Structure formats: C-alpha cells, structure tokens
Structure 1
C-alpha cells in the first residue's frame, strides 16, 4: 500500500482523550496527529443525544478541514451516541472508544465487574446492547458525576475528587468486583488516585491500547502509514489552554481557538 502523510484526527469533549492520543502516539510515532479538545462544551455526558451528535459533527468538520485521513472519536459518550451518524454522513474512517467490558468479563473470577462512566455512555443504546451479551456477569454501573469537570478544571488531586472517588468505588468494593472498567477517556488520569482506594487484587481496564491497535490496523488495511520522520503533534482547545498544556507536561504546541 502507498504511504499516506495526512494527519490522524482525534477529538474529545475535553482533555481526557489525550489518554487515547498518548497510546496512539506511542504505537505510531511517525504519524502526524491533530487533537481537538472541545472543553468549552464538556462534559458531553449530561447532554442530549441530539446535542452530542451536533457537537461531534462540528468537531469532525474541523478535523476534515485539516485534511485528516482518519478520525478517532476519543470520547465514550460521543462514540456511543454519535458514531453511527458520523459514519453515515462523512466519507472517512472513524474509530470509536467503548468501555472495555469484554476483557473484564472474560477474565473475572468473581463474575462481578464495575464500570465507572458518564451518564451519556451508560444511557446509550450501544452500551445496553453491549452489556446484554454478558448476562452471566453482574455489571455494577456507576455514573461518575462531577469527575470530568474536576479534571477539566485541573483538580485531579483535589480533596473533592478523592471524596467523590471514595463514594463511587466503595460500593463496588463491597460488592466484590475484581475488575473496574473505566468508561470515559478522562478517567485514566485518575488511575493513581483510584489505585489508592481499590484493593490490590482489583484490576483496572481502560481502552487506550485497544484503540491504538485498531488505528494501526485500519491504517495497514485501508489508508496507509505516514512515510515521514517523527512529527510534532498539534493540539487545539476552545477554552482554558493552560489545563491542556499542563496535562501534556508543556511538551507540545497547544492552540486556543474558538470553534
């Protein structure tokens, strides 16, 4: 297959999808990436399906204007509510992110797993279709009210965050889960905090590596890899670039732009 030096586009409701970007960048360092943080409209999890679709289309069109060859929807809520509409409307491959329930169910010894996600993801038709496949496992769902907003405000290690995580995770621990699935791309940034609360035997699963491998597969089969040397990623945000710069450890270009 011929090479293709167009960029990979990635969008999220905010800074959380940088956890997905990081996995893609580590696996495919020669690919140019453009990341779009729609932080002005975060969190998506409390919006209607129609609003989520409209915002996802707006983000897609921004990235298509940048000539992206593939778009990663690095947001669980946008994937579960809008990816079907995006695939119907735009002639570009889309890769979505869904809670990694399958590996948790497959490996669980207690047959009880927990999932921490947004309201928008847990209410979606796609999520309900997914969990219907696993009726032999008890799946404890917990909406992470307030977590995304705290992360967007740069308050990952705040006392309020610690208090919320304790309130959400303690019932799962008491229910004897042995896997916790993180159903929001923001939540991997909470793993150090979560590990302090969970007993050591409870495994934490997020979707970053699976999305990166799927991106690699689509490039290999359908689009082509970049022939360029390692390139500098570009990050866009529509509000508060300071928090995005901090989460990226001030290593990369961040452009604040209204979109």
Structure 2
C-alpha cells in the first residue's frame, strides 16, 4: 500500500474532468492536481514547448513525492509522454481521444472529433485515427478559442455558444452519430453540446478509461492506497483560483502557485 499522492497535470483546469473520474473510482487515493493555466492552451504551442512544459510539470509533481503521474491533457500526451517515460522513473498514464469506440460503434459511418490543434496535428493522433477509421468519415474540428474561454470563466457565455454552433455545423451536416471530445476541458461543455446536437449523437471522452487504467497500473506496481479513508485532495494553479472553484465547488483545497 502507498499513501503517496497521484499527481495530475493539465494545461489548465480542464484535467479536473479526469480528476473527477479518478476520485470517483479511487476515493481512498490522495491526489495532487497541477493546473498550468498561465500557459494554456498547449494546443497552440510547438512540440518542443509542450515537451518542456510537461517536463517542468512532472518535476514539480515528483518533488511532491507523487507515486504516479496522470497526464490529463491530450496535447501533452500525444506530444510529450514518450519523452516523459524515457526521462523519469515513474509510471505515467496518458490520455488521447476515444476514437476507437466511436469508430467501432458508429452506425452512420461518420464521427466527429473536437480537439486542439496540438492534438489533431500529432503523430500519435494520426496513427490512432488511421488504425480505426477505415470506411468511415472522420470530421476533425479544431476547437480554437474554447480553452481560452473556459480558462477565463466564460464556460456558459454567448461567445462559447457561437463557437460551438460554428464547429458543430459541419459534423451535423455529415450526420455524425458520435462526437469524440479530444481535450479534457471539453467534458464541461457536454450540457451545451447536448442542446446543440441531434438527439441520436452520443458524446464520448476518455475520463472513465483513464481512471480504469490508473487503477490497473497502481495494482500492477503495488501502489494502491487501501486505507479506507477518504483521500486528501490538493489543487494548485498558476491562474485564477476562482475558475477551478467555479467548476468544482468551494469545498476543495485550491491554492495559487507561482510556477
């Protein structure tokens, strides 16, 4: 058993959607979440910039004695996780868009993927898409501006609604029946997406799968915390603490960190 925390990082507050799934599945685990909101979004940065930021985040979490690191960012995973695994002697859990289940289950033979530019342009994303997208139409859409609005506390703004309508229109026209969310910020858009999409469209993300994989790796390395006590939860951000507070509620330990 290990009471050391699970470390989680993202380019901002979006990865809290992954934390939600982890905490639901592994309530005994102590968790430490690092939000690099100052540098959000990663999706517009170069591969080298993403790698450097991911290394910096990892070094901080290791300094806090984390036993495993969840890269709760699609862009950081697809661009940097290989380097992280080669550089640090600690288990890493990555996240990438849930293309496989959408491609295998589509009835209309058309799926939509809403993701950042950094994810859509990555080699890992193209490899996964090519593997599972035979004989189906894949409508890729860069969600430019979405992360910035969420990080600015404008999740339910008129600007957000206008962007979503613009980005979803080609997908609706193509008769998609699955929408894959390729950024951990995007699950917070689900209530709005459900209002804008036809009823038959299913929305999927990777949160539950990441939680299952994290549990499996912890078991494999004998790192599960079986204390039967509710885990301690810490959130650090170099952005506005009110943004995370608004998403998660005020009953969490949320601190500003200058990093």
TM-score normalised according to structure 2 size: 0.98
Confirm or deny that 1:99 pairs with 2:97.
yes
Distance 1:231 1:203 in 2: 33
3-state SS of the aligned residue for 2:179?
Answer: strand
Structure 1 runs (4+) deviating above 2 angstroms are none
Q: Is the 8 A contact 2:103 2:136 kept in 1?
A: yes
3-state SS of the aligned residue for 2:200?
Answer: coil
Q: Is the 8 A contact 2:67 2:223 kept in 1?
A: no
2:116: which partner in 1? 118
Distance 1:192 1:41 in 2: 27
2:243: which partner in 1? 243
Distance 1:101 1:254 in 2: 33
Deviation at 1:239, TM superposition (A): 1.6
Deviation at 1:101, TM superposition (A): 0.3
Deviation at 1:221, TM superposition (A): 1.2
Give the paired residue count: 257
**Residues 109-188 of structure 1 correspond to what in structure 2 (within 5 A)?**
109-133=107-131, 134-188=133-187
Q: Is the 8 A contact 1:95 1:214 kept in 2?
A: yes
Q: Gaps spanning 5+ residues in structure 1: where?
A: none
3-state SS of the aligned residue for 1:200?
Answer: coil
Q: Gaps spanning 5+ residues in structure 2: where?
A: none
Q: More deviation in 142-151 or 222-231?
A: 222-231
TM-score normalised according to structure 1 size: 0.98
Q: CA RMSD in A?
A: 0.7
Confirm or deny that 1:209 pairs with 2:228.
no
Deviation at 1:60, TM superposition (A): 0.2
1:196: which partner in 2? 195
Q: Is the 8 A contact 2:15 2:73 kept in 1?
A: yes
Distance 1:221 1:111 in 2: 37
